[in-house]
Amino acid sequence: MLVLGIETSCDETAAAIVRDGREIVSSVIASQIATHTRFGGVVPELASREHLDKIVPIIEEAFTSTGITKDQIDGIAVTVGPGLIGSLLVGVSYAKAMAFALDKPLVGVNHIEGHIYSVCFENPPVEYPALALIVSGGHTNLFFVPSPGKYKVVSRTRDDAAGEAFDKVAKMLGLGYPGGPIIEKLAREGNPKAVKFALPRMGDNRPDFSFSGLKTAVTKYVRESGLQPVPDGEEPSQGIKDLAASFQSTVVRSLVTTMERVAQEYRPKTLIVAGGVACNGALREAARVAAAKLGLPVYFPSPHLSTDNAAMIAAAGTVKLQAGERSGWDLNADVMLRLQNIEVEDDELRKHVRYRL
């Protein structure tokens, strides 16, 4: 089965053709980083306009680079949410028009579910139940996945997503955008124990995440220590490098210790770490150590599949199309779209959980 995937949820315009949900035939991504860097973050209106300019040539390239014709695809999968409404509408509108013109089946895909499927191209097949940590600029969640297409949210961020915290701290320090790669680079030359930051704890003992308090702690440290934002073109001081390393270490420990805690309770057979922040080398290494301790395999997507891409949307869409799922012409973007949430009382979930939360 050949499926065209279309992704326009934020600031990447992407198209990909995937065979049988596991083989990438083509994948084309147009980034908007250069457009948004000077603003220190994504400007929704600019993102929408750039998607409009790029979606036609990007999809055309996905076909011409392979020699596959549009008539040869078996279906179209498109991101319908969550994301920026204007950006999402560009992809959804184009996918609906293309599906109608070609008389091909269409299916909408949750962007977060796409990230879960991003590990399927270069890893062994996922053995279920699985536990998936999805961590990016807009999302930080842990999902228990008892079987394909079923999801239980067991942990979420109560404020900033991890990637958002990276961006905001980088902006605070004058390091530029996007913040994750810059902080990771500086952290390699810093001391992760130089600044002591407390791990956030939830008052109700839920295994949730919180990064706004850490961001506030960084702000306080900068003010009290007298650190100055890095001027354009200048080398960051050792103090900035130490702060970057300490901040990154705290974020990674928060993510991995929570994942380990939940894994001990839900007893998955596979761990998945995906999303843009999954590119972070320190997070990958900490997750590998935790997985080894738990005696579980942990799967990551390649760096180019960790950030937003259309191959993961096509992979998730393939499963839906093979199951007979179809979207109607009333398909619309949904910025608050959630993954299907099963209840703790469900027999399928209860048989895996060591004890109820």
Tens of pLDDT along 312-342?
A: 999 999 999 999 999 999 999 999 898 866 5
Q: What digits encode the pLDDT tens for the residues 173-186?
A: 999 888 999 999 99
pLDDT confidence bin for 355, thresholds 50/70/90: very low
Within this chain, domains 2-117+304-322 and 130-300 share the same CATH topology? yes
The tokens describing 357, both together, are 């939360």
- Kindly report, residue by residue over 36-59, the tens digit of the pLDDT: 888 888 898 999 999 999 999 999
The neighbouring-strand residues paired with 18 are: 3, 24
Instruction: Provide the pLDDT for residue 349.
Output: 52
Task: Find out whether 137 and 163 touch, Cβ atoms under 8 Å.
Answer: yes
Q: Which two tokens stand for residue 88?
A: 């999402």
Q: How confident is the model at residue 353 (pLDDT cuts 50, 70, 90)?
A: low
Q: Which two tokens stand for residue 286?
A: 């900490």
Go through 33-42 and write b for each residue having 16 or more CB atoms within 10 A of its CB, e for each that does not. eeebeeebbb
Q: Considering Cα of 191, then 192, then 193, then 194, what sign does the dihedral take?
A: positive
- Give the mean model confidence (pLDDT) for residues 136-153: 91
Which residues lie closer than 8 Å to 49 by C-beta, 6 or more apart? none
The full set of domain ranges for the chain reads: 2-117+304-322, 130-300
Q: Which two tokens stand for residue 226?
A: 């007298």
In angstroms, the CA 116 to CA 287 distance is: 16
- pTM assigned to the model: 0.90
pLDDT at 303 over 80: yes
Nearest to 219 by CA among 195, 255, 252, 236: 195
Instruction: Evaluate if residue 155 carries a pLDDT over 60.
Output: yes
Q: Number of H helices and number of E strands within the chain?
A: 12, 10
Side chain identity at residue 271, one-letter code: L
Reported confidence tier of residue 233, pLDDT bands at 50, 70, 90: confident
Q: Residue 13: CB partners within 8 Å, gap ≥ 6?
A: 7, 29, 30, 32, 50, 51, 54, 55, 58, 90
pLDDT at 348 over 80: no
* Superfamily of domain covering 2-117+304-322: ATPase, nucleotide binding domain (3.30.420.40)
Query: Tell me, what amino acid is at 259?
Result: M
| Half-sphere exposure (Cβ direction) of 264: Cα atoms closer than 13 Å | 9
Tell me which CATH code domain 130-300 carries.
3.30.420.40
68-92 pLDDT per residue, tens: 999 999 999 999 999 999 999 999 9
Instruction: Answer positive or negative: Cα dihedral of 107, 30, 279, 63.
Output: positive
- 354 CB burial (10 A radius; 0-12, 13-18, 19+): exposed
10-19, 97-106, 229-238, 326-335, range with the lowest pLDDT: 229-238
Q: Give the model's confidence band at 203: pLDDT under 50 very low, under 70 low, under 90 confident, else very high.
A: confident
Instruction: Collect all residues with Cβ–Cβ distance below 8 Å to 45 and sequence separation of at least 6.
Output: 86
| Res 258 pLDDT > 80 | yes
* pLDDT band at residue 109 using 50, 70 and 90 as cut-offs: very high
Position 208: which residue type? D
43 burial level (CB within 10 Å; 0-12, 13-18, 19+): middle
Residue-wise pLDDT for 268-298, tens only, equals 999 999 999 999 999 999 999 999 999 999 9
For residue 299, which amino acid is it?
Y
pLDDT at 344 over 50: no
Q: Report the percentage of the chain scoring pLDDT > 90.
A: 81
